Amino acid sequence: MYRFLAPAVGLRRHSIVLLMLATAGFVTSGVLAGPPTTRVEPVKEVLGGQEVVDSYRWLEDQEAPATRQWIEAQNHYTDSLLSGLPEREGLAKRFTELLKVDHYNLPVPSRDGRRYFFARRLANEDLATLVMRDAATGKDEVLIDPHSWTADHSRSVSMLNISEDGSRLAYEVRQGGKDETEIRIFDVASRRDLPDVLAEARYFSADFSPDGQSLYYVRNMAGGPRLFRHRFGSPVGEDRELFGSGFGPETIMAAGLSEGGRYLLVQIFHGASGDKTELFVQDLSAGTPIQPIATDLDARFLGTFAGETLVILTNWQAPNSRILKVDLAHPGRDHWREIVPERKDAVIEAMTPACGRLFVNYLENVRSKVLTFDLEGKPLGELALETLGSASSVLGRWQSQEAFYSFQSFVVPEQIYRWDAGSGKSTVWARPSVALGSTQIEVEQVWFESKDSTRVPMFLVHAKGLALDASHPTYLTGYGGFNVNMSPFFSALAAIWVERGGVYAVPALRGGGEFGEAWHRAGMLEQKQHTFDDFIAAAEWLVRQRYTRPDRLAVSGGSNGGLLVGAFLTQRPDLARAVICSYPLLDMLRYHRFLVAQYWVPEYGSADNPKDLPVLAAYSPYHHVKPGTAYPAVLLVTGDGDTRVAPLHARKMAALLQSVEVPGRPTLLRYHTQQGHSGGEPVSQRVQDYAESVAFLRWQLGVAGGS
């Protein structure tokens, strides 16, 4: 999410800020009647035989003094319009009630089941702490508490892994919302960190050796990801590279060990969606070299171990996915055996070996179902889920008698269940106490036709007995990319939006994986416009069915969803009144040049490729802003803490939209120095973020009331 920066307090400080901004040339008086003036400095280039003009390329230089002054002026302008909105205080109070509750992550048990490790944030805490519990119902002991590390709670922790005997914990320390983290090792017996620290970098995985004396980890290097082994007590700079030479910066790598540590599994993902995945295995006990398992097939292969048996979830020759078993004594493709076949009526989302069986997560019409099988593929039963919603992957050990999973829905906050192998039943392990009038909320799934007549499903959340009179403020959000599924999830924003008379809508757009790989590929590369067409069709359906009307419709999206709403506002500015565009991709002709964007070239293409250039140019939002158009009011959100999607996209788009905006429909930029793609923000900050965004939308939709 994004960070709220409080406005200047008191006349004296306000005057100083205005003086500084005026000296920088951005404002000329104390009355902020319009956005700061942005210098126009055209850069011209020829792409594919066409001249392209970029008037705000100077804003790409994030650390330039002129850019920093411009950012300060933009934040001040945003504060001047949003800090006094009438509903902010009341919204913040309600978000506090929904968000400041006890929250637990899935527990990770030691191999003997005597210790459980998990992240926990209590209702009176701002950040998650890392906790250990002796026995399933024992007392919690806080091991790592980051609250005292920074005054603004901008440093957070998350759990990476535990050693098999539960004697050591690997955890990440994150500054703000950066993708890069520092890895530390906590010794449970002494209750202190080891001196071994892996410096801040982008890490993809970490796993302990069976004896707990070393750590296998994957670090992203300048040339691409590399697998290392660190022996505790030795200098990190002497860690030996084990694997990865030849894999470039467009690839992602993850590595892990089988229970007991005999086998090392390495997985290579070509691009962020892993449309092509390679698998390698090494028998550490035999000391043999790393051997390829799947390297030459254009498909997704996700491997894991059931004991010492390799099982693979794959869409190879199965767009909705199936599960294979591989005998590592005979790993050749001719010996692969299908144990769970593809279904045409459901997609396999995930698969986890635990308690001597496979837990297989299906998505059936965008609703979760979890079935279990033995290693021969024999059905063993189904987890009982309480309602329409989303179940997480199951977490457990192969030889354990218990496993854990979470469940949530639009009206069910995420709760954790413990599954017992003896009884085959689930019991609640942790459930947040959320003051939510769920009995007054209705969830329905509807279907609409997109531009090319493809039927697309959409979840609607609203008050029971809603009158279809076109009056309701409606919040439409989506994603549509990278094989990501938009199944039902709990959102405090959705709950409050509905409480205040609104409709919350989430369509399953093409580009996601809700209906398998065919659905994903129908919204990527040269088919990307289908994603935008689906979102536009969802908005048109909501208007046509009289849930809302264009001046009561808001759209919101982040990251790839930011590209989605950016395309929406440039292609159909008449269809919505307000837009929130968070951490977005918007300049699609240059996106591939910054940060880790090479991961996304398999999904979008690259302007350096003559085949992809016209496709990207046809929808790139930054290149389709037209003077004289009445665009919706826009709140763009980004900041320095985003080390994944370059913040330059939002900076340049804010400047461009402000140059053509019409009165009453402002373009605002909320720019943060800490928050980014990877979360980690304190819950108090999230409260302010949500309150600001909802207050902005309700103001622009003309439905704002008092506090």
> Residue 541 carries which side chain, given as an amino acid letter?
W
By the 10 Å C-beta count (0-12 exposed, 13-18 middle, 19+ buried), 357 is classed as: buried
With contact defined as beta carbons under 8 Å apart, do 538 and 457 qualify? no
SS3 417: strand
In sequence order, the β-bridge partners of residue 633 are 578
Q: Strand, coil or helix: what is 93?
A: helix
Please check whether residue 536 is in contact with residue 685, taking contact to mean a CB–CB distance below 8 angstroms: no
> How many residues in total does the chain contain?
707
Q: What is the pTM of this model?
A: 0.94
- Cβ atoms of 299 and 314 closer than 8 Å: yes
| CA 80/CA 139 separation, integer angstroms | 48
Q: What pLDDT is recorded for position 46?
A: 96
Q: What is the pLDDT of residue 676?
A: 72
Residues with catalytic roles: 559, 677
Q: Strand, coil or helix: what is 98?
A: helix
User: How far is 103 from 465, CA to CA, in rounded Å?
Assistant: 32
Q: What is the DSSP letter of 524?
A: S
For residue 28, which amino acid is it? T
What CA–CA distance (Å, rounded) separates 569 from 437?
Answer: 34
Tell me how far apart the alpha carbons of residues 557 and 554 are, in angstroms, rounded to a whole number: 10
Cα 491-543-504 angle, rounded to 5 deg? 5
Reduce the DSSP state of residue 83 to 3 states and report it: coil
Q: CA–CA separation, 569 vs 586, rounded Å?
A: 11
- For residues 106 and 100, give the distance between their C-alpha atoms in angstroms, rounded to a whole number: 19
Q: Angle 277-557-614 (CA atoms, 0-180°, nearest 5)? A: 65
Spell out a b/e string for 585-614, using b for 16 or more CB atoms within 10 Å of the CB, else e. bbbbbbbbebbbbbbbbbbbbbbeeeebbe
- In angstroms, the CA 284 to CA 296 distance is 24
Q: How high is the pLDDT of residue 94?
A: 96
Pairwise CA distance, residues 645 & 626, whole Å: 24
The torsion angles phi and psi of 674, rounded to 5 degrees, stand at: -120, -45
Measured CA distances, 144 to 106, 183, 343, 557, 679 (Å): 17, 13, 44, 33, 18
The number of beta carbons lying within 10 Å of the beta carbon of residue 327 is 12
Decide: 87 and 694 in contact? Cβ < 8 Å.
yes
Tokens coding 190: 């002494």
Averages of pLDDT over runs of 10 residues in the chain (707 residues) are 24 28 33 83 95 98 98 97 94 96 94 91 97 86 97 96 95 95 97 98 97 96 97 96 96 96 97 95 95 96 97 98 96 96 98 98 97 98 92 96 96 94 95 84 96 98 97 98 96 96 98 98 98 99 98 98 98 98 98 97 97 98 97 97 96 98 96 79 94 98 83
> Radius of gyration (Cα) for the chain, nearest Å?
26
DSSP 125-150: -SS-EEEEEESTTS-EEEEE--TTT-
Q: Looking at residue 3, what is its pLDDT?
A: 24
Helix and strand numbers (H, E) in the chain are 11, 40
- Burial category of 91 from C-beta neighbours within 10 Å (exposed 0-12, middle 13-18, buried 19 and up): buried
| N-terminal to C-terminal alpha carbon distance within the chain | 23
Classify each residue of 641-650 as buried b or exposed e, where b means 16 or more C-beta atoms within 10 Å of its C-beta: bbbbbbbbbb
Structure tokens at 64: 């330039």
HSE value, Cβ hemisphere, 13 Å, CA-based, for 613:
11
What does the pLDDT read at residue 344? 97
The pLDDT value given to residue 679: 75
Centre a 10 Å sphere on the Cβ of residue 467 and count the other Cβ atoms it contains.
10
Per-position DSSP letters for 568-579, written without gaps between them: HHHH-GGG-SEE
Residue at token pair 């793609």 = 677
Q: Using CB atoms within 10 A of its CB, is residue 617 exposed (0-12), middle (13-18) or buried (19+)?
A: middle
